[in-house]
DNA sequence: ATCGGCTCGCGCAA
DNA sequence: TGCGCGAAGCCGAT
């Protein structure tokens, strides 16, 4: 596909990819089909759409399709998303841009609205389903579909043309491109106001009412701890930078310390831009900010590289050869414990630390990173086979985590099975895959305090 | 408390 | 072709 920069002097041309060969035509508006980047600020796709609209003095209409059947999504995810979307709608309105929201498969909605558009702009997610949607829209509409990368700091294909092996192989590739791509995005206002365009749109001012109206599953309840939206994300970022970052290197692996940034749900729904976070953090020059940028830029964009280039990102098959081989050799090893899916899901194992991690996820929608590793390793250890373990870990992660169904989640689970890691001393069940044990948790932090706190929360909520 | 060994494959130097 | 080294590991020796 061809890069296209003629319309935007402020967006790096590598972020822009035409997904079909259609020519721009006369239309009533430029359409920004918003999907992955649900925000009004620091959004390259939105800014590109504004430039495109201004160029021909057309108004800009933004469309978001709410797909109530999105795999593994439930009321927890939808409420968080809707809270953010309502704020984004208000923010866009202040710039004279109308955001319409419809309950439909997003590709269907985009195809319908594209009939009246001169040009369609969209943002970018890397999972199977949104990629299918974009492909379908590209071939079904009569005007151009232009994809603008705003979900990563360095565009995926610029970093590498293939699946990277580990953090150490992608780190220098990202590092040398940061100078070019880690630059602020200046925002503009459309020449023509689109607020008066008369299009049917869902009222999303009350998320719970919308959830009921859409008939979305309430089997996993929303959480109160994390409220969706760009302003909430920014407030958390500010708090992280002023109160937590300095001690981040010493306490980030301690679930009791409460010193994580908690950006992942906001990044997952695109409510805050990774570029905005990176620029804010990098203003503080310290070893601590470098350590955080490693997470945000190297680990996060490695996870995206994995999902983008590995079609089996959510199954055992996606693992590296050595890991699959060694896990298969040991798949018949005797397991001291074997739990059913519901034993795991209901936190009914013999291990209080594992149960606490599971309960933290169920209650809060976010398990501490360090416990996520232990949690995944033990599912592997206590399942009938590594294939079943992998698929259960993905299912639980997608269902309960606010940041589930995200490249980070898939790469995180895969890491527990050897992805992006190296081999270690061979042992039963795990083979050469790194093993973890609860004695390690106790060595590194007060694991019993963690259990105590989670059990207390569990008792309060039940 | 600290440290080497475990083990595979990438990427660079030669 | 050889060599160093790697996301969070554990284990056993000192």
Interaxial angle between packed helices A386-400 and A352-364, expressed in degrees from 0 to 180 and rounded to the nearest 10: 40
Answer whether any strand B atom is within 7 A of the Cβ of A432: yes
- Provide the mean pLDDT of chain A: 96
C1'-nearest nucleotide to the CA of A415: C7
| Residues close to nucleic acid strand C (C-beta < 7 A) | A 166-168, 253, 295, 299, 302-303, 369-370, 373, 411-412, 415, 420-422, 424-425, 434-437, 439-440, 443-444
Q: How far is the CA of A428 from the C1' of B3 (A)?
A: 25
How many angstroms separate the Cα of A92 from the Cα of each of A85, A187, A408, A443? 10, 12, 29, 49
CA pair distance A109, A68, nearest whole angstrom = 13
- Cα A35 off chain centre by: 12
pLDDT value at position A3? 40
Q: How far is the CA of A436 from the C1' of B5 (A)?
A: 17
Please determine, for residue A90, whether its predicted confidence score (pLDDT) is greater than 60. Answer: yes
A393-432 pLDDT, tens digit per residue, is 999 999 999 999 999 999 999 999 999 999 999 999 999 9
3-state secondary structure chain A: CCCCCCCCCCCCHHHEEECCCCCCCCCCEEEEECCCCCCCCCCHHHHHHHHHHHHCCCCEEEEEEECCCCCCCCHHHHHHHHHHHHHHHHHHHHCCCEEEEEECCHHHHHHHHHCCEEEEEECCCCCHHHHHHHHHHHHHCCCCEEEECCCCCCCHHHHCCCCCCCHHHHHHHHHCCHHHHCCCCCCCCCCCCCCCCCCCCCCCCCHHHHHHHCCCCCCCCCCCCCCCCHHHHHHHHHHHHHHHHHHHHHHCCCCCCCCCCCCHHHHHCCCCCHHHHHHHHHCCCCHHHHHHHHHHHHHHHHHHHHHHHCCCCCCHHHCCHHHHHHHHHCCCCCCCCCCCHHHHHCCCCCCHHHHHHHHHHHHHCCCCHHHHHHHHHHHHHCCCCHHHHHHHHHHHHHHHCCCCCCHHHHHHHHHHCCCCCCCCCCECCCECCCCCCHHHHHHHCCHHHHHHHHHHHHHHHC
> pLDDT-derived band of residue A5, with 50, 70 and 90 as boundaries?
very low
Averaged over A20-32, what is the pLDDT?
97
Tell me the percentage of chain A whose pLDDT exceeds 90. Answer: 97
Residue nearest to nucleotide C8 (CA to C1'): A370
Averaged over A271-297, what is the pLDDT?
96
How many other CB atoms are found less than 10 A from the CB of residue A273? 24
Contact A20, A139 (CB under 8 A): yes
C1'-nearest nucleotide to the CA of A439: C10
C1'-nearest nucleotide to the CA of A300: C7
How many angstroms separate the Cα of A333 from the Cα of each of A327, A330, A338, A390? 10, 5, 12, 17
C1'-nearest nucleotide to the CA of A408: C7
Interaxial angle between packed helices A128-140 and A106-114, expressed in degrees from 0 to 180 and rounded to the nearest 10: 20
CA pair distance A125, A102, nearest whole angstrom = 19
Please determine, for residue A2, whether its predicted confidence score (pLDDT) is greater than 90. Answer: no
CA pair distance A137, A399, nearest whole angstrom = 28
C1'-nearest nucleotide to the CA of A162: B10
A310-336 pLDDT, tens digit per residue, is 999 999 999 999 999 999 999 999 999
Which residues in 20-59 of chain A line strand B, with CB less than 7 A from it? none
CA pair distance A365, A363, nearest whole angstrom = 6
Please determine, for residue A15, whether its predicted confidence score (pLDDT) is greater than 70. Answer: yes
Q: How far is the CA of A120 from the C1' of C8 (A)?
A: 43
Answer whether any strand B atom is within 7 A of the Cβ of A425: yes
Please determine, for residue A293, whether its predicted confidence score (pLDDT) is greater than 90. Answer: yes
Which residues in 148-187 of chain A line strand B, with CB less than 7 A from it? 164-165, 169, 172
Answer whether any strand B atom is within 7 A of the Cβ of A435: no
Please determine, for residue A462, whether its predicted confidence score (pLDDT) is greater than 80. Answer: no
A227-277 pLDDT, tens digit per residue, is 999 999 999 999 999 999 999 998 999 999 999 999 999 999 999 999 999
Least confident range from A284-288, A294-298, A349-353: namely: A284-288
A7 or A54, higher pLDDT:
A54
Q: How far is the CA of A422 from the C1' of B12 (A)?
A: 19
Contact A306, A163 (CB under 8 A): yes
Q: How far is the CA of A317 from the C1' of B12 (A)?
A: 30
Q: How far is the CA of A435 from the C1' of C13 (A)?
A: 21
Averaged over A115-129, what is the pLDDT?
97
pLDDT value at position A4? 47
Q: Which nucleotides of strand B lie under 7 Å from a protein CB?
A: 5-12
CA pair distance A109, A103, nearest whole angstrom = 8
Q: How far is the CA of A391 from the C1' of C12 (A)?
A: 35
Answer whether any strand B atom is within 7 A of the Cβ of A349: no
Answer whether any strand B atom is within 7 A of the Cβ of A424: yes
A181-217 pLDDT, tens digit per residue, is 999 999 999 999 999 999 999 999 999 999 999 999 8
Please determine, for residue A111, whether its predicted confidence score (pLDDT) is greater than 70. Answer: yes
Burial of A322 per CB tally in 10 Å (0-12, 13-18, 19+): middle
Interaxial angle between packed helices A300-309 and A167-175, expressed in degrees from 0 to 180 and rounded to the nearest 10: 110
Dihedral angle sign, alpha carbons of residues A245, A247, A249, A254:
negative
Q: How far is the CA of A107 from the C1' of B11 (A)?
A: 42
Answer whether any strand B atom is within 7 A of the Cβ of A321: yes
Specify the residue for token string 């500010």.
Answer: A238
Q: How far is the CA of A419 from the C1' of C9 (A)?
A: 14
Answer whether any strand B atom is within 7 A of the Cβ of A427: no
C1'-nearest nucleotide to the CA of A294: C7
Q: How far is the CA of A83 from the C1' of B8 (A)?
A: 46
């Amino acid at each position: 596909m061809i890069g296209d920069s003629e319309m935007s002097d402020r967006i790096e041309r590598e972020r822009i990819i035409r997904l079909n060969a259609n020519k721009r035509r006369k239309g009533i508006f430029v359409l920004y089909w918003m999907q992955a980047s649900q925000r009004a600020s620091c959004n390259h796709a939105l800014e590109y759409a504004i430039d495109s609209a201004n160029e021909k003095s057309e108004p800009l209409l933004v469309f978001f399709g709410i797909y109530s059947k999105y795999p593994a999504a439930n009321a927890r995810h939808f409420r968080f998303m809707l809270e953010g979307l309502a704020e984004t709608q208000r923010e866009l309105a202040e710039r004279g841009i109308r955001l319409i929201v419809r309950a439909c498969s997003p590709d269907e909605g985009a195809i319908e609205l594209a009939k009246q558009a001169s040009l369609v702009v969209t943002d970018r997610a890397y999972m199977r389903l949104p990629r299918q949607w974009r492909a379908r829209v590209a071939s079904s509409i009569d005007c151009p579909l232009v994809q603008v990368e705003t979900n990563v700091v360095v565009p995926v294909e610029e970093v590498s043309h293939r699946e990277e092996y580990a953090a150490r192989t992608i780190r220098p590739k990202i590092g040398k491109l940061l100078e070019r791509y880690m630059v602020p995005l200046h925002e503009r206002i459309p020449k023509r106001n689109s607020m008066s365009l008369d299009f049917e749109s869902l009222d999303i001012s009350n998320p719970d009412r919308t959830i009921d109206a859409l008939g979305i599953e309430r089997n996993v309840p929303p959480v109160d701890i994390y409220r969706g939206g760009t302003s909430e994300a920014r407030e958390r970022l500010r708090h992280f930078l002023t109160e937590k970052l300095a001690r981040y290197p010493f306490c980030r692996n301690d679930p009791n310390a409460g010193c994580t940034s908690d950006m992942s749900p906001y990044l997952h729904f695109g409510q805050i831009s990774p570029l905005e976070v990176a620029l804010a953090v990098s203003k503080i020059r310290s070893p601590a900010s470098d350590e955080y940028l490693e997470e945000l830029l190297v680990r996060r964009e490695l996870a995206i590289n994995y999902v983008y280039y590995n079609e089996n990102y959510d199954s055992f098959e996606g693992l590296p050869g050595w890991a699959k081989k060694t896990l298969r050799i040991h798949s018949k090893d005797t397991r001291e414990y074997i739990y059913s899916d519901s034993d795991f899901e209901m936190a009914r194992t013999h291990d209080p630390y594992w149960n606490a991690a599971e309960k933290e996820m169920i209650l809060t929608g976010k398990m501490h990173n360090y416990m996520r590793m232990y949690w995944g390793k033990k599912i592997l250890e206590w399942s009938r086979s590594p294939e079943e373990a992998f698929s259960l870990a993905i299912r639980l992660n997608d269902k309960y985590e606010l940041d589930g169904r995200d490249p980070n989640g898939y790469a995180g689970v895969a890491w527990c099975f050897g992805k992006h890691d190296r081999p270690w001393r061979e042992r039963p069940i795990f083979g050469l895959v790194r093993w973890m044990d609860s004695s390690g948790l106790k060595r590194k932090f007060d694991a019993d305090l963690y259990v105590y706190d989670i059990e207390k929360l569990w008792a309060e909520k039940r």
